Protein backbone atom coordinates (compact mmCIF):
# COMPACT_ATOMS: atom_id res chain seq x y z
CA UNK A 1 0.00 0.00 0.00
CA UNK A 2 1.13 3.59 -0.60
CA UNK A 3 1.23 4.35 3.11
CA UNK A 4 3.36 2.20 5.37
CA UNK A 5 1.45 -0.82 6.59
CA UNK A 6 1.80 0.23 10.23
CA UNK A 7 0.89 3.87 9.61
CA UNK A 8 -2.02 2.80 7.43
CA UNK A 9 -3.47 0.56 10.11
CA UNK A 10 -2.98 3.18 12.84
CA UNK A 11 -4.61 5.83 10.67
CA UNK A 12 -7.47 3.55 9.78
CA UNK A 13 -8.23 2.69 13.38
CA UNK A 14 -8.30 6.30 14.56
CA UNK A 15 -9.56 8.07 11.43
CA UNK A 16 -12.12 5.62 10.07
CA UNK A 17 -15.54 7.05 9.35
CA UNK A 18 -17.09 5.05 12.20
CA UNK A 19 -15.66 4.22 15.66
CA UNK A 20 -14.49 0.73 16.53
CA UNK A 21 -17.01 -1.70 17.89
CA UNK A 22 -16.93 -2.97 21.47
CA UNK A 23 -14.30 -5.74 21.55
CA UNK A 24 -15.61 -9.25 21.01
CA UNK A 25 -14.87 -11.63 23.87
CA UNK A 26 -14.45 -14.99 22.16
CA UNK A 27 -14.84 -18.26 24.02
CA UNK A 28 -12.71 -21.25 23.09
CA UNK A 29 -13.73 -22.52 19.67
CA UNK A 30 -15.93 -19.51 18.93
CA UNK A 31 -16.06 -17.93 15.51
CA UNK A 32 -15.82 -14.30 14.62
CA UNK A 33 -19.16 -12.94 13.38
CA UNK A 34 -19.95 -15.54 10.72
CA UNK A 35 -20.56 -14.23 7.22
CA UNK A 36 -22.76 -17.27 6.59
CA UNK A 37 -25.30 -16.08 9.18
CA UNK A 38 -25.30 -12.33 8.48
CA UNK A 39 -28.08 -10.46 6.75
CA UNK A 40 -26.00 -7.32 6.14
CA UNK A 41 -22.52 -5.88 6.63
CA UNK A 42 -23.60 -2.90 8.69
CA UNK A 43 -21.91 -2.00 11.98
CA UNK A 44 -24.27 -4.24 13.95
CA UNK A 45 -22.84 -7.24 12.09
CA UNK A 46 -19.63 -7.14 14.13
CA UNK A 47 -17.61 -5.99 11.12
CA UNK A 48 -16.94 -2.39 10.15
CA UNK A 49 -15.22 -0.58 7.29
CA UNK A 50 -11.44 -0.26 7.40
CA UNK A 51 -10.60 2.76 5.26
CA UNK A 52 -7.37 4.67 4.73
CA UNK A 53 -6.57 8.38 4.55
CA UNK A 54 -5.45 9.54 1.10
CA UNK A 55 -7.03 6.50 -0.58
CA UNK A 56 -10.42 7.62 -1.88
CA UNK A 57 -11.17 4.58 -4.02
CA UNK A 58 -12.38 1.72 -1.86
CA UNK A 59 -12.74 -1.97 -2.47
CA UNK A 60 -16.33 -3.19 -2.53
CA UNK A 61 -17.59 -5.78 -0.04
CA UNK A 62 -20.98 -7.47 -0.21
CA UNK A 63 -22.72 -10.60 1.00
CA UNK A 64 -23.38 -13.10 -1.78
CA UNK A 65 -24.26 -16.77 -2.07
CA UNK A 66 -21.59 -18.98 -3.61
CA UNK A 67 -22.02 -22.75 -3.95
CA UNK A 68 -24.97 -22.58 -1.57
CA UNK A 69 -23.12 -20.71 1.21
CA UNK A 70 -23.32 -17.05 2.15
CA UNK A 71 -19.88 -15.42 1.89
CA UNK A 72 -18.35 -11.97 1.42
CA UNK A 73 -17.33 -11.02 -2.10
CA UNK A 74 -14.64 -8.35 -2.37
CA UNK A 75 -13.91 -6.48 -5.58
CA UNK A 76 -10.86 -4.26 -5.94
CA UNK A 77 -9.95 -2.11 -8.94
CA UNK A 78 -7.06 0.20 -8.12
CA UNK A 79 -8.27 0.97 -4.60
CA UNK A 80 -7.98 -0.28 -1.03
CA UNK A 81 -10.18 -0.85 2.02
CA UNK A 82 -11.23 -3.72 4.26
CA UNK A 83 -13.59 -5.00 6.91
CA UNK A 84 -12.42 -5.34 10.51
CA UNK A 85 -13.66 -6.98 13.69
CA UNK A 86 -12.22 -5.74 16.96
CA UNK A 87 -11.07 -8.35 19.48
CA UNK A 88 -9.74 -8.65 22.99
CA UNK A 89 -8.21 -12.11 23.08
CA UNK A 90 -5.09 -13.34 24.87
CA UNK A 91 -3.47 -16.31 23.12
CA UNK A 92 -2.32 -19.37 25.07
CA UNK A 93 0.22 -21.90 23.80
CA UNK A 94 -1.66 -22.25 20.53
CA UNK A 95 -4.36 -20.29 18.72
CA UNK A 96 -5.69 -21.67 15.43
CA UNK A 97 -7.03 -19.28 12.82
CA UNK A 98 -9.05 -21.07 10.17
CA UNK A 99 -10.81 -19.68 7.10
CA UNK A 100 -11.54 -20.40 3.47
CA UNK A 101 -11.19 -18.08 0.52
CA UNK A 102 -11.11 -17.89 -3.26
CA UNK A 103 -9.58 -15.41 -5.71
CA UNK A 104 -10.19 -14.74 -9.38
CA UNK A 105 -6.50 -14.03 -10.06
CA UNK A 106 -3.27 -12.71 -8.56
CA UNK A 107 -1.70 -9.42 -9.62
CA UNK A 108 0.93 -9.56 -12.35
CA UNK A 109 2.86 -6.73 -10.68
CA UNK A 110 2.27 -7.99 -7.14
CA UNK A 111 5.37 -8.58 -5.04
CA UNK A 112 5.35 -8.70 -1.22
CA UNK A 113 9.03 -7.71 -1.14
CA UNK A 114 8.55 -4.44 -3.05
CA UNK A 115 6.62 -1.30 -2.10
CA UNK A 116 5.24 -1.03 -5.62
CA UNK A 117 3.88 -4.58 -5.40
CA UNK A 118 2.39 -4.47 -1.90
CA UNK A 119 -1.12 -5.45 -3.11
CA UNK A 120 -3.04 -8.69 -2.69
CA UNK A 121 -6.33 -10.00 -4.08
CA UNK A 122 -6.97 -11.41 -0.58
CA UNK A 123 -5.39 -11.06 2.84
CA UNK A 124 -6.25 -11.62 6.49
CA UNK A 125 -4.79 -8.95 8.78
CA UNK A 126 -4.18 -9.95 12.43
CA UNK A 127 -3.31 -7.01 14.70
CA UNK A 128 -1.79 -7.33 18.17
CA UNK A 129 -1.71 -5.08 21.23
CA UNK A 130 1.11 -2.54 21.34
CA UNK A 131 3.84 -3.29 23.89
CA UNK A 132 5.27 0.06 25.06
CA UNK A 133 8.05 -1.52 27.12
CA UNK A 134 9.55 -2.91 23.91
CA UNK A 135 9.34 0.32 21.89
CA UNK A 136 11.73 3.24 21.68
CA UNK A 137 11.08 6.68 23.12
CA UNK A 138 10.01 8.33 19.86
CA UNK A 139 7.65 5.50 18.96
CA UNK A 140 6.00 5.72 22.38
CA UNK A 141 5.74 9.51 22.14
CA UNK A 142 4.21 9.40 18.66
CA UNK A 143 1.61 6.86 19.71
CA UNK A 144 0.80 8.72 22.90
CA UNK A 145 0.15 11.93 20.98
CA UNK A 146 -2.27 10.18 18.63
CA UNK A 147 -4.02 8.45 21.52
CA UNK A 148 -4.49 11.73 23.38
CA UNK A 149 -6.03 13.37 20.32
CA UNK A 150 -8.26 10.50 19.21
CA UNK A 151 -8.85 8.59 22.43
CA UNK A 152 -7.89 5.26 20.86
CA UNK A 153 -5.32 2.71 21.95
CA UNK A 154 -3.29 1.82 18.88
CA UNK A 155 -2.20 -1.68 17.81
CA UNK A 156 1.37 -2.91 17.64
CA UNK A 157 2.78 -5.72 15.50
CA UNK A 158 0.72 -7.47 12.85
CA UNK A 159 0.65 -10.66 10.80
CA UNK A 160 -0.67 -10.51 7.25
CA UNK A 161 -1.78 -13.81 5.75
CA UNK A 162 -1.66 -13.20 2.02
CA UNK A 163 -2.51 -14.80 -1.29
CA UNK A 164 0.82 -13.89 -2.86
CA UNK A 165 2.12 -13.75 -6.39
CA UNK A 166 5.93 -14.00 -6.39
CA UNK A 167 6.61 -14.98 -2.77
CA UNK A 168 6.57 -18.80 -2.43
CA UNK A 169 3.92 -20.41 -0.27
CA UNK A 170 5.19 -20.82 3.29
CA UNK A 171 7.59 -17.87 3.24
CA UNK A 172 7.38 -15.15 5.91
CA UNK A 173 8.83 -11.80 4.83
CA UNK A 174 8.81 -8.29 6.33
CA UNK A 175 6.40 -5.82 4.84
CA UNK A 176 8.41 -3.59 2.47
CA UNK A 177 7.43 -0.52 4.49
CA UNK A 178 7.85 -1.75 8.07
CA UNK A 179 9.22 -4.79 9.88
CA UNK A 180 6.47 -4.49 12.50
CA UNK A 181 4.19 -6.17 9.95
CA UNK A 182 5.17 -9.60 8.66
CA UNK A 183 3.70 -11.09 5.50
CA UNK A 184 2.88 -14.81 5.56
CA UNK A 185 2.31 -16.35 2.13
CA UNK A 186 -0.32 -19.04 2.69
CA UNK A 187 -1.18 -19.31 -1.01
CA UNK A 188 0.83 -18.20 -4.02
CA UNK A 189 0.22 -17.87 -7.73
CA UNK A 190 -2.72 -18.62 -10.00
CA UNK A 191 -2.68 -22.42 -9.78
CA UNK A 192 -5.68 -22.48 -7.40
CA UNK A 193 -7.40 -19.33 -8.66
CA UNK A 194 -11.14 -19.88 -8.96
CA UNK A 195 -11.10 -22.63 -6.32
CA UNK A 196 -12.12 -22.48 -2.68
CA UNK A 197 -9.06 -23.04 -0.49
CA UNK A 198 -9.18 -23.75 3.25
CA UNK A 199 -6.33 -22.34 5.34
CA UNK A 200 -5.43 -23.17 8.93
CA UNK A 201 -2.63 -21.38 10.81
CA UNK A 202 -1.36 -21.37 14.37
CA UNK A 203 -1.12 -17.65 15.12
CA UNK A 204 1.10 -18.22 18.15
CA UNK A 205 3.62 -20.32 16.18
CA UNK A 206 3.61 -17.84 13.29
CA UNK A 207 4.12 -14.88 15.61
CA UNK A 208 7.03 -16.62 17.33
CA UNK A 209 8.64 -17.38 13.98
CA UNK A 210 8.04 -13.86 12.68
CA UNK A 211 8.98 -11.83 15.76
CA UNK A 212 10.98 -14.22 17.94
CA UNK A 213 8.71 -14.07 20.98
CA UNK A 214 5.27 -14.97 22.30
CA UNK A 215 2.44 -12.79 21.00
CA UNK A 216 0.58 -10.18 23.05
CA UNK A 217 -3.26 -10.13 22.96
CA UNK A 218 -5.06 -9.85 19.63
CA UNK A 219 -6.91 -6.57 19.10
CA UNK A 220 -8.36 -7.04 15.63
CA UNK A 221 -8.77 -9.25 12.57
CA UNK A 222 -9.51 -7.79 9.15
CA UNK A 223 -10.13 -9.02 5.63
CA UNK A 224 -8.74 -6.87 2.85
CA UNK A 225 -8.43 -6.91 -0.93
CA UNK A 226 -6.32 -4.02 -2.26
CA UNK A 227 -4.77 -2.93 -5.55
CA UNK A 228 -3.88 0.74 -5.05
CA UNK A 229 -0.20 0.21 -5.92
CA UNK A 230 -0.50 -2.07 -8.92
CA UNK A 231 -3.72 -0.57 -10.29
CA UNK A 232 -4.92 -4.05 -11.19
CA UNK A 233 -8.28 -5.73 -10.58
CA UNK A 234 -9.38 -8.87 -8.77
CA UNK A 235 -12.33 -10.44 -7.03
CA UNK A 236 -12.02 -12.44 -3.81
CA UNK A 237 -14.51 -14.42 -1.77
CA UNK A 238 -14.14 -14.87 2.01
CA UNK A 239 -15.88 -17.59 3.99
CA UNK A 240 -16.33 -17.78 7.77
CA UNK A 241 -13.29 -17.14 9.96
CA UNK A 242 -12.82 -19.01 13.24
CA UNK A 243 -10.41 -19.01 16.17
CA UNK A 244 -9.81 -21.91 18.52
CA UNK A 245 -7.24 -23.00 21.12
- What whole-number distance in Å separates Cα of residue 70 and Cα of residue 35? 6
Tens digits of pLDDT across the chain (245 residues): 454 444 444 444 433 333 333 344 444 444 589 999 999 998 789 999 988 777 788 999 999 999 999 999 999 999 999 999 988 899 999 999 999 999 999 999 999 999 999 999 999 999 998 766 665 545 545 544 444 343 444 567 999 999 999 899 999 999 998 888 999 999 999 999 999 999 999 999 999 999 999 999 998 999 999 999 999 999 999 999 999 98
42 CB-near residues (< 8 Å, 6+ apart): none
Cβ(102)–Cβ(144) below 8 Å: no
Cβ(240)–Cβ(230) below 8 Å: no
- What whole-number distance in Å separates Cα of residue 111 and Cα of residue 120? 9
How far is C-alpha 79 from the chain's CA centre?
15
C-alpha atoms less than 13 angstroms from C-alpha of 228 in its C-beta half-sphere: 23
- What whole-number distance in Å separates Cα of residue 103 and Cα of residue 38? 21
Structural domains in the chain? Answer: 5-244 (2.60.120.260)
Which pLDDT value is given to residue 10?
Answer: 45
Cβ(119)–Cβ(110) below 8 Å: yes
* Model confidence pLDDT, tens digit, residues 176-200: 988 889 999 999 999 999 999 999 9
Amino acid sequence: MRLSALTSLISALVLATSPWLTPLALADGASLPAFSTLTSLDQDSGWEPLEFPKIDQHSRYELVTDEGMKVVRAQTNGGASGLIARLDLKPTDSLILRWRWKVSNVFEKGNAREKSGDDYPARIYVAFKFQPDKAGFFERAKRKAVEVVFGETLPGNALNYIWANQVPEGDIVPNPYTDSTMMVAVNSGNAQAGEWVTVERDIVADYRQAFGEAPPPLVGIAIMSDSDNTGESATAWYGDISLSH
